[in-house]
Amino acid sequence: MSVEALTRAVAGHGLPTVCAAWPAEPLPDQLWRAVLDRAKQQRFTGLLLDAVRAGSLPTSDAQYEDVAEAHLQATLRVLVVESASLPVIQVLADSGIPSRVLKGSAVAHLDYPDPSLRHFGDLDLLVRSEDYDRTVEVLGAAGLKRARVQARPGFDRRFGKGATCRAADGREVDLHRTFVMGPFGLRIRLEDLWGPPAEFEVGGQVLHALDAEGRFLHACYHAAIGDVPPRLPPLRDVAQMLLLGSVDEARLRWLMERWQAEAVVARAVRLTWATLGLQQPVPLSRWALTHVPSGRQAQDLAVYVDPAKRSYAAKSLASLAAIPSWRDKAAFAYALARPRPGFVPPPAPHRDSAPVRHAVQAGVRQLRAAVKGHMR
């Protein structure tokens, strides 16, 4: 088996309908090292250790010790990150600013049977647009300063995705007011994110997260348009929530229509099924396989995922069409044409990791072959 195939098998470990061909004997040490390194990069040491302990992947004693130690070290870092997030959330709550924990910690506790299967490296927090500027001030007073200058005062609050706030000791908070920058982020009906929260407990503190459909949609945005090529953890999250979670498909479809996000969800689900080798379809994966995006959504998707079109400028241009009022369009265009000194457009979140790209491309080739077979 190749490193890519083994990495995908690890990413899909424990999911129903995955048909992974695990080796019958422990891997040669060089291959094992490569798989372990990949698991560390993708924060999958928990899934790898679980696959080993479940007997899916045989190991030598030394290999078992390798993965057990790697997972222990990775989990220690997660505990430190999670612990450091508690006072940040508390300082916002004390200032009367409601927040929702996004991705990492929330998904680990709410969507996985054991949070140690889902690792993460930072805290992502969603706040309301109207609280955004004050949140930046409160975090700044707590030592977490905005890492980048925004284009104009109020620009992030009105049009942006959010900002990274960083402390001198290296702690980071990714502050969000929406899921992504650009047209798909601007079309999200943000009021839909602020219904009754899902709750989870960390260190005796009750934290708030998005509901199951909100978490699933965020995972789809992350998987489909967050990185090119997509990273494996958000693909796993999509599968985990759809196959083992409590996503209400009727509400999900209602939300994705309201947010004009069908192309995002379809791409995320297709990538997930292809990359993780999921065998059996569910209603949403059947829909995703045959979904043809509207012309507008296809154009918008291209500015996120097409290497020839994805750029800050292309996203900004596409954003103009997604901003409803002419007054706001003018403010948006003016801010980018005459930004404040020091403003630098954020780099594209481009992780052109060859191994992951190969794994995803191999999955997509298999999916295309399956679709061709299905169409005959």
3-class DSSP assignment, residue 245: coil
Tally of helices (H runs) and strands (E runs) in the chain:
17, 7
Burial of residue 260 (CB within 10 Å: 0-12, 13-18, 19+) is buried
The token duo for 175 is 């502050």
CB nearer to other proteins: pick between 117 and 255: 117
Among 1, 5, 31, 86, binds other proteins (CB under 8 A): 86
Q: Is 89 in the site for other proteins (CB under 8 A)?
A: no
The distance of closest approach from Cβ of residue 250 to other proteins in the complex, given in angstroms and rounded to an integer, is: 35
CB nearer to other proteins: pick between 16 and 113: 113
Provide DSSP, 160-184. --EEEEE-TTS-EEEEESSSSSSHH
The distance of closest approach from Cβ of residue 75 to other proteins in the complex, given in angstroms and rounded to an integer, is: 5
The distance of closest approach from Cβ of residue 303 to other proteins in the complex, given in angstroms and rounded to an integer, is: 39
Each residue 43-62 as x (binds other proteins by CB under 8 A) or -, in order, gives ---x--x---x---------
CB nearer to other proteins: pick between 19 and 76: 76
- For residue 205, what are the β-bridge partners? 202
The token duo for 135 is 């949140």
CB burial string 171-200: b at 16+ within 10 A, e below: bbbbbbbbbbbbbbbbbbebebbeeebbeb
HSE, CB side, 13 Å, CA atoms: give it for residue 265: 28
CA distance 100 to 193: 9
Among 3, 110, 151, 202, binds other proteins (CB under 8 A): 202
Q: Is 115 in the site for other proteins (CB under 8 A)?
A: yes
Count of residues in contact with other proteins, rule CB under 8 A:
21
Q: Is 366 in the site for other proteins (CB under 8 A)?
A: no
| Neighbouring C-beta atoms of residue 204, cutoff 10 Å | 6
The token duo for 327 is 């007054």
Return the residues of window 289-318 that contact other proteins according to CB under 8 A: none
Task: Determine the interface stretch with other proteins among 94-102, 113-121, 189-197, 217-225 (rule: CB under 8 A).
Answer: 113-121
Return the residues of window 171-200 that contact other proteins according to CB under 8 A: none
Burial of residue 117 (CB within 10 Å: 0-12, 13-18, 19+) is buried
Q: Is 75 in the site for other proteins (CB under 8 A)?
A: yes
The distance of closest approach from Cβ of residue 25 to other proteins in the complex, given in angstroms and rounded to an integer, is: 21
Amino acid identity, position 145: K
Q: Is 348 in the site for other proteins (CB under 8 A)?
A: no
| Neighbouring C-beta atoms of residue 315, cutoff 10 Å | 22
Among 16, 153, 203, 283, binds other proteins (CB under 8 A): 203
Q: Which residues bind other proteins (CB under 8 A)?
A: 46, 49, 53, 68, 71-72, 75-76, 78-80, 82-83, 86, 114-116, 202-205
